[in-house]
Amino acid sequence: MITSSSIFEGIAAVSQLAMAFVVGLGVCVAYVQLSQWKREKIAVKRSELGEDLVSVATDLIGKVSIIRSPFGYGPPEGEEDDGTYDYRRRLRELAELDDEFAKLRQLKIRSKAWIGDDSLAEAIDAFFDARGKLIVGINGKIREIRGASRYGLEYTEGDAARSERYDLYVWEGADVPTEGEPVDPILTLLNPALDEIERKMIPLIRLEAPK
């Protein structure tokens, strides 16, 4: 026999079941929304990283190209010059890029956190390798000039080969007589590195899947 008590108990059970369903549905919706928010947040962070990285890398290549320009000039009027002024000027200009290289290093750390791509890290490292070669080349030319002027040393074949290597490091597009076609060791590092950075980051800037 169905009593009013059993009816109320049935209604209560159905209500509890409905409430549990609503709560469960709410949890599922909240989880989906949270997951979507996290994906959007990560996409935005990666996009910002991509914009910064492409911008800094492109800017550095342009400034390094200016430093390596074959067009130079002498010291200001009244300043003595032992023949190394133009190289020392280029070295100072390269040192002025320290903040931008520091930013590039920070971007590498961010890229590890948000992307974790080894080829991207290697592309960023190429900029530091190129800077190192350029510093070696400029300092080498300074030592070469000062050594020759002070001691009147004659070049050996090894000295000549080293001088040619310094020229390749310092001058963009240097036409140095070497075996085979001369290859610019700085651009050989920087151009493929920028290509890789753009290949990885531009799709993220556009909020697309990376290639």
> Terminal CA-to-CA distance of the chain, rounded, Å?
71
pTM for the whole thing?
0.76
The per-residue pLDDT for 52 is 93
Domain parsing of the chain, residue ranges: 48-205
pLDDT of amino acid 163: 85
pLDDT at 12: 54
Looking at residue 151, what is its pLDDT? Answer: 53
For 2-32, what is the HEC assignment?
CCHHHHHHHHHHHHHHHHHHHHHHHHHHHHH
Position 127 scores a pLDDT of 97
Report d(CA 21, CA 1) in Å as an integer. Answer: 30
Amino acid (1-letter code) at residue 45: K
Predicted pLDDT of residue 190: 96
How confident is the chain (211 residues) per 10-residue block, as mean pLDDT?
54 57 55 56 80 95 94 78 88 96 95 89 96 96 77 65 88 65 85 95 76 52
